[in-house]
Amino acid sequence: MILYDADVPSPNAIVPRLFAHERGGLQFEAQTVALSTLENRSSPYVTEVNPRGEVPALRFNDGRVLTEVTAICEYFDEVAVGGRSMIGETAEERALTRMWTRRVDLEIAEPVVAWWRGGDDAEAFYRGNRILSPAGRRDNRLIADRGLNQLDDDLAGRGFICCNRPMLADILLFGFLLTMQHVAPWANVPGRKSVSAWFERMSARESMEKAMVSFDGAVTL
């Protein structure tokens, strides 16, 4: 299988990287796609890999292509050799992980990115390749702030979001907050003590530094 990875640590691209490094037991080929020059918005990427222009994407050995970061991570979890599942080892763990993954995605990750996409920097970067909504910028920040405030309460007394170790929900949210911290510093502030402490725990993990480097060529983890 081939993972199409980004040349920069974008929010979506870094999530499967983080997941793969944490999960281990994986072998695949990787090709780097230059988001920095919008290679993902033109041929051959949109004609041969993903017509939506999204990165990452995962090509199976039979030629079919899987997109969406949570789907890619779940597939990695299924095919990894050895180690512990980061989706869950019981029906209850899997259900809780998927619930929390959806919550942090809808309530925090997506509105933080949508907030950035409402600004001038995003308009200049995309150059018409994505429909932006600057009118919703204030609302998106309020939605994300509300989600972060709720998560701060939810995390009180807990080390990680839904289990006693990092799971997909942790990887997804951390990947987004990490890569957006320079453009959206308001998303992780000391006043949210539980979220801030969780972010520091995640930052200290060995896989986090490795995930800042794009996959390229033959990968064995």
CATH number, domain containing residue 82:
3.40.30.10
Give the tens place of pLDDT for each residue, 22-75.
Answer: 999 999 999 999 998 999 999 999 999 999 999 999 999 999 999 999 999 999
Same domain, 103 and 184: yes
Per-residue confidence at 9, pLDDT binned at 50, 70, 90? Answer: confident
Structural domain total, the chain: 2
Tell me, yes or no, whether 122 and 178 share the same domain. Answer: yes
Task: Tell me the whole-structure pTM to 2 decimals.
Answer: 0.94
The per-residue pLDDT for 130 is 82
pLDDT in tens, 80-136: 999 999 999 999 999 999 999 999 999 999 999 999 999 998 888 888 878 888 999
Query: Is the same domain home to 114 and 181?
Result: yes
Q: Do 201 and 212 belong to one domain?
A: no
Structure tokens at 143: 């939605």
Q: Which domain holds residue 34?
A: 2-86+208-220
- Give phi and psi for 203, each to the nearest 5: -65, -30
Tokens of 114: 């949508």
Q: How far apart are CA 32 and CA 90, in angstroms?
A: 35
If asked whether residues 96 and 140 sit together in one domain, one would say: yes
Q: Where are the beta strands (DSSP E) in the chain?
A: 2-6, 27-33, 57-59, 65-66, 217-220
Locus of tokens 């995003």: 122
Based on the fold, state whether residues 54 and 103 are members of the same structural domain: no
